[in-house]
Amino acid sequence: MRALRLILTGWRFHVKSLTLSAFFLLTSAIQPILFATMAYFMFRAGSTEQSLLYVALGSGLMGIWSSTLFGSGGAISWQRWQGTLEVSIAAPAPFVLVLIPITLATATIGLYSLTATLLWGKLFFGVPFDLEHPLLFLLSIPATIVGLGMLGLVLAASFVLYRNANAMSNLLEFPVWLVTGLLVPLSLFPGWVEPISWVLAPTWGVRAIRDAALGGGDPVGAILMSLGLAVVYLGIGTVLIGYFERLARERATLSLT
């Protein structure tokens, strides 16, 4: 209960903090609208209205992934720049419990993307918002947030070993958009792409949300896969965070690692 209270308190604090960041608001609210607008015009020419909702949901997930990637990938580096990393490491709670709220918050702030793209599509493009499975749709959103948040934990732990973490973030943004099927169906890609998508949480998150909204597919299975991957990511992230702490202590370069 103490660990859960720590995570919830940290998550609430970091969500409020990120909401005040112009960078995250731009990434989460403005950028997805621009991509969604371009996609609407491309799909509208010869597609059905349901395809427009397909695009709206994919564009929203693009924003969630972007905020998770940039926020979680630079989480430790930002703490180092702000001078709070040493205090966080020295706190009685394990450092991984300090970091989890940050990565969950970066994924949560991406909900601006989903809300913005759906409202934008409804107001200006007449995108219908009739959900086939409303309850599953509501369940799929937190499952997606948890899956991406734990993937962010892995990114936060691994990116700290690279000086050019921002460049790594830029490198991963567009490829993940493609291989997880956020806008382009995976059936259009070579066969070797699909196995890669299976180990990425955005794949199952967008499947869960789309299947619940549009019908068809297996939204329950996608929700369970997203949560299952979250557990795997948590284990990997915990190991990597432990390695980072040990390496920093051995070299006595916590603020420089």
**φ, ψ at 128 (rounded to 5°):** -70, 150
For the chain, the structural domain boundaries read 2-251
Any idea what the Cα angle at residue 23 is, between residues 21 and 26, rounded to 5°?
110
3-state secondary structure of 129: coil
Going along the chain, which residue ranges are E strands?
none
Q: What string of pLDDT tens digits covers the 257 residues of the chain?
A: 788 899 999 899 988 888 887 777 777 778 888 888 887 887 766 555 557 788 888 888 888 888 888 888 777 777 777 778 778 887 888 888 888 999 999 899 888 888 888 888 888 888 888 889 999 999 999 999 999 999 988 888 777 665 555 566 677 888 888 899 887 888 888 888 889 999 999 999 999 999 999 888 899 999 999 999 999 999 998 998 888 778 777 776 666 54
3-state secondary structure of 184: coil
Q: Residues near 77 by Cβ (< 8 Å), separated by ≥ 6?
A: 159, 160, 165
Give the predicted TM-score (pTM) of the model.
0.86
Q: Residues near 132 by Cβ (< 8 Å), separated by ≥ 6?
A: 212, 213, 214, 215
Give 59: exposed, middle or buried? Use CB within 10 Å, 0-12, 13-18, 19+: buried
